[in-house]
Structure 1
Amino acid sequence: MRNDPHPIPGGESLLFLTDDQIRRGIEAMYFAYRAFTADPDLILEEIGYGRAHHRALHFITRDPGLTVTALLEVLGVTKQSLNRVLRTLIEDGLVDSRVGRRDRRERQLHLTEKGVALERRLSEAQRARVRAAYRAAGPQAVAGFRQVLEAMMDGEMLAQFRALREAPDQRLAPRRAGSAG
């Protein structure tokens, strides 16, 4: 992030943001999030699912074999809430829950072919939207955007995000010895 008081495009200074400028930034995030979720929401609505189903599919795709415990930590939801989502995804043949290979108490999650196809359909429009926005904004803006997003995360979330980014083949959330998934 720049540390100089020179104006950025639009005449706004980075060091002395007014409440109105902050509010506009928050509103921009709300509208961007609406746009980002609009296409998947239409698909989810067709099949009676919500965003929690999409998030679960996303992270299971990202890390096949992810345990229920790790998914709970990544999503930051209650066990009851996640169980409802997973039960639906398993019953509908989108997710396969297998006994852990190292710890039989763990449940490892994998997408079925049907689950892979749905996740791909849900995320295609989002990837295209993000790709187009990144290209339009340019590399410096993308780097700045990532810095802003990371600066908004608390320490634990940031560590989780960085671990995911830096070791994409590693599990999403740290495993605690003796924890069942």
Structure 2
Amino acid sequence: MAFKYVNMADITRDPSVPRRNSPSRDGAAGEADAVSERLDLITHVELLFFAYRDFTGDPDAVLEQYGFGRAHHRVLHFVHRNPGLRVANLLEILKITKQSLARVLKQLIGEGFITQRAGAEDRRERLLYATLKGTRLAEKLTALQVKRIEAALQTAGPEAEAATKRFLLAMISDEDRAQVEALVRVSRPGDVISQED
């Protein structure tokens, strides 16, 4: 049986609305250009869906062995990357409810992937750390994703790394961008990375 390519835009298109990429009655070139640009942007949306599917698919297979999902992965990743992370800060990073985080944290702590300690100054403060077991899993998952990104950047060419970084940062909302840059330690050309980082 032969595989037939189906354009995602055709699948999701409302059939009651006429196709916008057909020539306009007055033949206005500007409208045709605008429609073409919109279709190009829709292509980017679809590529992002497929890229995310494969980017998360590699670790999903590993997480499934533990009975974990993507929420567990995100929590473990940021706790591992930021030892002593406050629960309040983790909520802010992930933008999820306390109930959602509590459920995931309970499982990660219960199974020995994360440990929770009281703050030195404020005993009510809960600080999170990845255990050795959690560190090993976090690093395994990160290695899978780094490998995929490394291969994609190599295929895309020498300018791709800086352009991709700019693009991803631009996708983040204006009010969160500076905080995200600080959190993920975005390096810029000419930055010197110390051995401690």
Pairing partner for 2:127 from 92, 96, 108 = 108
User: What does residue range 56-95 of structure 1 map to in structure 2 within 5 Å?
Assistant: 56-95=75-114
Unpaired runs of 5+ residues, structure 1, are 1-14, 169-181
Question: 1:71 Cα deviation (Å)?
Answer: 0.5
- Give the ranges of 4+ consecutive aligned residues of structure 1 lying more than 3 Å apart after TM superposition: none
Pairing partner for 1:48 from 56, 64, 67 = 67
Higher relative contact order (CA 8 A, sep 6+): 1
Alignment of 1:118 with 2:141, yes or no, is no
TM-score between both structures, scaled by the size of structure 1: 0.79
TM-score between both structures, scaled by the size of structure 2: 0.73
Q: Which residue of 2 aligns with 1:35?
A: 54
Structure index of larger Rg: 2
Question: 1:166 Cα deviation (Å)?
Answer: 5.4
Task: Give RMSD over aligned pairs.
Answer: 2.1
Structure 1 distance, partners of 2:42, 2:137, is: 36
Q: Which residue of 2 aligns with 1:174?
A: none
Structure 2 distance, partners of 1:145, 1:68, is: 30
Q: Aligned pair count?
A: 155
Q: State the secondary structure of the residue aligned to 1:18.
A: helix
Structure 2 distance, partners of 1:155, 1:102, is: 33
Q: Which residue of 2 aligns with 1:4?
A: none
Question: 1:150 Cα deviation (Å)?
Answer: 1.6
CA offsets, 1:89-117, max 9 Å, x none?
A: 00001100000112211100001111111
Unpaired runs of 5+ residues, structure 2, are 1-32, 188-192
CA offsets, 1:35-75, max 9 Å, x none?
A: 10111101111211110000001101110000100100001
Q: State the secondary structure of the residue aligned to 1:109.
A: strand
